[in-house]
Amino acid sequence: MKNRKWTNKQKLEIVLEGLNGRVTISDLCNRHQIQQTQYYEWKNHFLRHGEKVFELGKATSSEDRREKENRRLKTLIGDLTMELKKNDYTD
């Protein structure tokens, strides 16, 4: 079997296909021209590190909250700046 570069997405698709049980691992590996040992390495890596997928969701929501707060504070600073300028002109 020839050496190829697999993207993370391709590896995930192959592992998930193997996990769904609709095809034998042997047939899956033959179709994708990979060794079974390669499939099991990808599968084990996925199972060991799969929880990180859910951490990404937390980071994204946390980042969203920070961005929302940042926009709110910038708006507040802008409003306060305008208020100060009004007061300078009226004095």
- Please tell me the total count of domains within the chain: 2
For residue 8, pLDDT over 80 is answered with yes
44, amino acid identity? N
The owner of tokens 């990979």 is: 34
The pLDDT value recorded for residue 60 is: 67
**Domain with 66 in it:** 52-91
Query: What is the model's pTM?
Result: 0.59
The pLDDT value recorded for residue 50 is: 86
Dihedral pair phi/psi, residue 88, rounded to 5°: -65, -40
Verify that 5 and 39 share a domain, yes or no.
yes
pLDDT, tens digit (0-9, with 9 covering 90-100), for 10-30? 999 999 999 999 999 999 999
| pLDDT bucket at 9, cuts 50 / 70 / 90 | very high
Verify that 72 and 88 share a domain, yes or no.
yes
Mean pLDDT highest for which of 5-19, 61-75, 77-91?
5-19
Verify that 28 and 6 share a domain, yes or no.
yes
